[in-house]
């Protein structure tokens, strides 16, 4: 299937985890993929992994929380490929910390990357899409944006804000031909989640919280990004697609 032939997809946080899986999925379906990430060595490895398989991909070092860098990256991708048709606005950070212990600097860091960074990238790409007459934007939220979890006040707040940012973007941008949705994954096995939780905790967590009896894999999420970017989702707009093995049920 080559649903995304001649489509340019910008994926943030593309060096590993869910972002890399999203990049792989779009590349395998014929797209040119612009990979953006703050970690240059991992980004270069991700780029090599895709181009080595004959896919069309290029890496762009980017800290999404720095608006000037976002401006430069969007301009560079548009300058090189003529357009950004699809944005997978995925970059994010997480760590656990009791509410009363969160320092102002760490609160600001979480909001700076997960909310401000998402806004900078979405807005700059939306301006470009509006000028060229349309596109698709998919923001990475989380089940933590729909229900709280202890020790994640800063993360929960950032992802809850992404859900309403997405809905407001959908209301404002739909008339310009830009479809906007969010994806809300539950527990997905990635370097992010592995850095936080040990295997014994994960086993107890699955038993207590996930009816499907397993954690998710990045491919469980990248397929949803591909669906949302495709014509099959032509009337899906302002939605938040939950993929959590039944946890919120
Ligand atoms: N893993 C999960 O269980 C889970 C669940 C729900 C939502 N999410 C969300 O999915 C997204 C991807 O998570 P993941 O699990 O793949 O994490 P990950 O840590 O494995 O990957 C995140 C990527 O984002 C990059 N990144 C971090 N800060 C950045 C910045 N300032 N600018 C550019 N890139 C930056 C990292 O270098 C990394 O490559 C995040 O937004 C996360 O909040 C993850």
pLDDT in tens, 126-174: 999 999 999 999 999 999 999 999 999 999 999 999 999 999 999 999 9
Within a domain: residue 249?
A: no
| pTM of full prediction above 0.95 | yes
Within a domain: residue 248?
A: no
Within a domain: residue 103?
A: yes
Q: How far apart are CA 65 and CA 63, in angstroms?
A: 5
Span from the CA of 191 to the centroid of ligand 1 (angstroms): 9
SS3 at position 3: coil
Span from the CA of 248 to the centroid of ligand 1 (angstroms): 21
Within a domain: residue 41?
A: yes
Q: Residue 244 half-sphere exposure, CB side, CA atoms within 13 Å?
A: 21
* Range of the structural domain that residue 16 is part of: 8-243
For the segment 183-237, what is each residue's pLDDT rounded down to a tens digit?
A: 999 999 999 999 888 999 999 999 999 999 999 999 999 999 999 999 999 999 9
Nearest residue to 47 (alpha-carbon basis) of 66, 63, 32, 69: 32
Q: How far apart are the first and last CA of the chain?
A: 33
Within a domain: residue 201?
A: yes
Strands (E), 18-167: 32-37, 56-61, 86-89, 135-140
Number of domains in the chain: 1
Q: How far apart are CA 91 and CA 79, in angstroms?
A: 22
CA distances from 129 to 14, 86, 97, 239 (A): 21, 9, 38, 19
The pick from 18, 108, 209, 240 for probing ligand 1's pocket by mutation, whose C-beta has the most ligand atoms within 8 angstroms, reads: 18
The answer for 133, left when phi > 0, alpha when psi is -120 to 50, beta otherwise, is left
Question: What residue ranges line ligand 1, CB within 6 angstroms?
Answer: 12-13, 15-19, 37-39, 62-65, 90-94, 113, 117, 140, 142, 185, 187-188, 190-193
pLDDT for position 1 = 67
Within a domain: residue 3?
A: no
pLDDT for position 115 = 99
Q: What are phi and psi of 238, to 5 degrees?
A: 75, 15
CATH of the domain at 139: 3.40.50.720
For the segment 9-22, what is each residue's pLDDT rounded down to a tens digit?
A: 999 999 999 999 99
Q: Which residues are catalytic?
A: 155
Span from the CA of 221 to the centroid of ligand 1 (angstroms): 13
Q: How far apart are CA 106 and CA 95, in angstroms?
A: 10
Return the ligand 1 atom nearest residue 64 CA. Answer: 32
């Amino acid at each position: 299937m080559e649903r995304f032939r001649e489509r340019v997809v910008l994926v943030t946080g593309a060096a590993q985890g869910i972002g890399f899986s999203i990049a792989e999925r779009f590349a395998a379906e014929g797209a040119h993929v612009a990979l953006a990430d703050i970690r240059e060595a991992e980004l270069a490895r991700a780029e090599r992994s895709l181009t080595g398989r004959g896919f069309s991909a290029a890496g762009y070092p980017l800290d999404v929380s720095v608006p000037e860098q976002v401006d430069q990256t969007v301009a560079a991708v548009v300058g090189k490929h003529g357009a950004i048709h699809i944005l997978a606005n995925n970059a994010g950070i997480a760590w656990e910390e009791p509410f009363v212990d969160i320092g102002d600097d760490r609160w600001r860091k979480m909001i700076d990357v997960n909310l401000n960074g998402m806004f900078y990238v979405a807005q700059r790409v939306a301006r470009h899409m509006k000028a060229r007459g349309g596109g698709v934007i998919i923001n990475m939220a989380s089940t933590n944006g729909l229900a709280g979890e202890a020790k994640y006040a800063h993360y929960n707040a950032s992802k809850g804000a992404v859900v309403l940012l997405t809905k407001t973007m959908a209301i404002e941008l739909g008339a310009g031909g830009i479809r906007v949705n969010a994806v809300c994954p539950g527990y997905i096995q990635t370097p992010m989640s592995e850095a936080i939780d040990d295997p014994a905790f994960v086993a107890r967590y699955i038993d207590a919280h996930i009816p499907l009896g397993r954690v998710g894999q990045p491919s469980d999420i990248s397929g949803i990004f591909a669906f949302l970017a495709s014509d099959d989702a032509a009337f899906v707009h302002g939605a938040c697609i939950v993929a959590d093995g039944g946890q919120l049920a």
